[in-house]
Structure 1
């Protein structure tokens, strides 16, 4: 079965939407994501602007300001729902690991 667009989010998608709970410019998002993740996740300009276009087309974010080439964005209700859905999905993965992961590892220990 084909996966629906945005059914699950990549780390970059997740952090972009997380950043956009408050209005910000694209260039600021790259720094915020690096800062939020301690450098573990980075988003380059090509990836960022491609994802912003996809989010705009899907109605998950909206453009709030345009100042020359600088554009700022903010998450919409649809984007918040996708972000919260991904948060719940990740929580279920953690719960499954707590329930089954250690037992599996312990059962195979040498």
Structure 2
């Protein structure tokens, strides 16, 4: 069961990826690396899990809060997480471990 904010993030990412928000040619542009070799396009990030599943999403933050939302391209599996940023290190490794567990488990 997800909280309302996580549910909203998942609904937004699903609508983005299924073409409800943008025409295909704009979504295709979002999936192109902004810099060669990068995993970030025009507002869309992707991560290749350890089991080979590519997921798309992004993170966002505001004062005292950070959130990530990722989905498979077909929207069949999603994960969203929010944290407070009181942490000693960059949370990227922990987020990647969460994505691996959620999409590969």
Short-chain TM bin: under 0.3
Greater helix proportion: 1
> Looking at both structures, which has the greater relative contact order when contacts are Cα pairs under 8 Å and sequence separation is at least 6?
1
Normalized against structure 1, the TM-score is what?
0.24
**Highest Rg: 1 or 2?**
1
Give TM-score scaled by structure 2 length. Answer: 0.24
Q: Whose strand fraction is larger, Structure 1's or Structure 2's? A: 2
